[in-house]
Amino acid sequence: MISGHTRVFGLLGHPVRHSLSPEMHSTLLRELGIDGVYVAFDVDPTRAHLVGEAIRTLDLVGVNLTVPFKTAILPQLDHLTRAAEEAGAVNVVTQLEGTLSGTNTDGIGLYRALQEEHGFQAQGSTCVILGAGGAARAIAAHLASEGAERIELHNRSAARAQDSCAHLAQFYPHTAFQPCPLGTLPPCELVVNALGGGAEATVAAMDLAPLPRHAIWCDINYWMKSPPQLAACAERGLRTSTGLGMLIHQGALSFELFTGHPVDPARIRAFLTR
């Protein structure tokens, strides 16, 4: 039952109708007996400058952010965690008495998923990230914090890749960050496709031959029916991951930030796969 005491959580982005987050968080709220609802808000991108004030005005307890608001909201926040500063983007905002705090759970969420699914350890590794946006920077930052030796950001915009690498190098000077054009893969331990829609043909045309047999290919776009290269990598014997694991682990972290209740990621995986 929804009453005047029911607290509201949500997902803000454009588009958002494909997201599994409302089902995930609403189920957890119901199972834990928390008087709250989690809904998807499809927000007009031209109103990005009003998102922070909307959270305050509507007294939303906590929200997840997706494109295109992960970076647009930064000037509207009162506090950023180290993870958010490293990523230069936030995907979780919590509100307490009008004060907005932002953090980023994308990087640690993906890393925990890779550990769970493949036993992956970043120490001394070479990693390739396709993309240079907020999610890509968050993932790169966490890989660097876990000891990755070299991280390449392959992106359609060379300037954006260069800016992202320069930003990340401020926090992790012992990791080599390299901007690269989108197209050719080097030998590496991990490839993460953090590009959104529109790049499928370019990614599908990449030559997988340089990847060693122990490499992992991960595509964080869990909502895509057939992510580019995922099936081809599996056929070559490479290890693969969809973005579902990342969604589960970052979702568990988000839920704890929202409510103070820790959640076993296995619990989320059980009903999402069901």
Tens of pLDDT, residue by residue over 36-52, are 999 999 999 999 999 99
Marked catalytic residue, from 70, 137, 142, 167: 70
Domains detected in the chain: 7-104+246-273 (3.40.50.10860), 107-242 (3.40.50.720)
Q: Which two tokens stand for residue 34?
A: 């928390």
Confidence label for 183 from pLDDT (cuts 50, 70 and 90): very high
pLDDT at 271: 84
Cβ(217)–Cβ(233) under 8 Å? yes
pLDDT at 213: 95
Residues near 51 by beta carbon (within 8 Å), at least 6 away in sequence:
12, 43, 65, 69, 72, 73, 76
Residues near 85 by beta carbon (within 8 Å), at least 6 away in sequence:
171
pLDDT tens digits along 66-120 = 989 999 999 999 999 999 999 999 999 999 999 999 999 999 999 999 999 999 9
Confidence label for 274 from pLDDT (cuts 50, 70 and 90): confident
pLDDT at 128: 98
80 vs 88: CA distance, rounded Å: 10
- Residue 152's beta-bridge partner residues? 128, 178
Angstrom CA distances, 257 to 102, 120, 163, 184, 268, stand at 10, 26, 30, 39, 16
63 vs 40: CA distance, rounded Å: 9
> Phi/psi of residue 175, each to 5°?
-105, 135
Concerning whether 225 is annotated as a catalytic residue, the answer is no
- Residue 155's beta-bridge partner residues? 181
Place of tokens 């988000």: 254
